[in-house]
Amino acid sequence: MDRWEDTMAKWLAELEHEEEMTDKQRAILRAAVKLFSEKGFHASSTSEIAKEAGVAEGTIFRHYKTKKDILLAVVVPLLVKFLSPRMLRDVQAIFGDPSLSTEETLRRVYKNRLELVEQNWDRFRILLQEAAFHPEIREAIIEHIAKRARALMTAFVEKKIRDGEFRNLPPAVIVRVGFSLLAGYVFFKHIAFPDEGIKLDDEEEIALMVDILLHGVRNPHRRDEEE
């Protein structure tokens, strides 16, 4: 078993006993989520976590050997949510439903993934922030989330190309564009311009993203006029 597999196995084993957490452990994790999300992992001290949780700093180290262990305890449940069979089945079922149009398939997939992000935004933000600094987190995202998501989307795109519905472009490029729209939506909504004031609800904006993905932004009537 290589390093990231060993790390994931350790995390998952620890999660089996999550229901046995004490109230103090839960308070510590809630405080860590708040501080890591607001300040980042490195800028948050264990003394600040203890103060926010209403416990003595020594209590933290009775439950977690290091601050890094607290970080792992915060982000692993989110990784497991993305990896859970139920969540994967949701997406697989959408992609595999022949009654859905291409537009509706993509809208439902986007909505499904965005709802999961929205419901867990504080932890998801920590996951994004800390992946750059902690190789085991980054490797877990790539191996367990990114590769599976890419495989599902690639199979969908390749079928649409075979059926003649999509242009014969490199599937990897289409997949990257599709994921980029989703990632860009999250970035601009929550990080770059959270107060931009776009007067659209999530479903309307998802529908527009899918429309742009499938049809671009060029006005077809203007093109006809030019020709």
Give the model confidence (pLDDT) of 91-116 as tens digits: 888 998 999 999 999 999 999 888 88
- Flag whether the pTM goes above 0.85: no
Q: How far is it, in rounded angstroms, from Cα 6 to Cα 52?
A: 32
Is the CATH code 3.40.1170.60 the one for domain 75-226? no
Q: What is the pLDDT of residues 120-149, one digit of tens each?
A: 888 888 887 888 788 877 877 777 677 888
Q: Are 212 and 181 in contact (CB under 8 A)?
A: yes
> In terms of Cα–Cα distance, which of 191, 44, 49 is closest to 128?
191
Residue partners of 126: CB distance under 8 A and separation at least 6: 33, 36, 37, 41, 71, 74, 75
Q: Domain 3-71: what homologous superfamily?
A: Homeodomain-like (1.10.10.60)
Please list the residue range(s) of the chain that carry CATH number 1.10.357.10.
75-226
> For the CA atoms of 156, 128, 124, 76, what is the dihedral angle to 10 degrees?
90
Residue partners of 225: CB distance under 8 A and separation at least 6: none
Lowest mean pLDDT among 36-45, 84-93, 206-215: 84-93
Please list the residue range(s) of the chain that carry CATH number 1.10.10.60.
3-71
The separation between CA 5 and the C-alpha centre of its own chain, rounded to angstroms, equals: 20
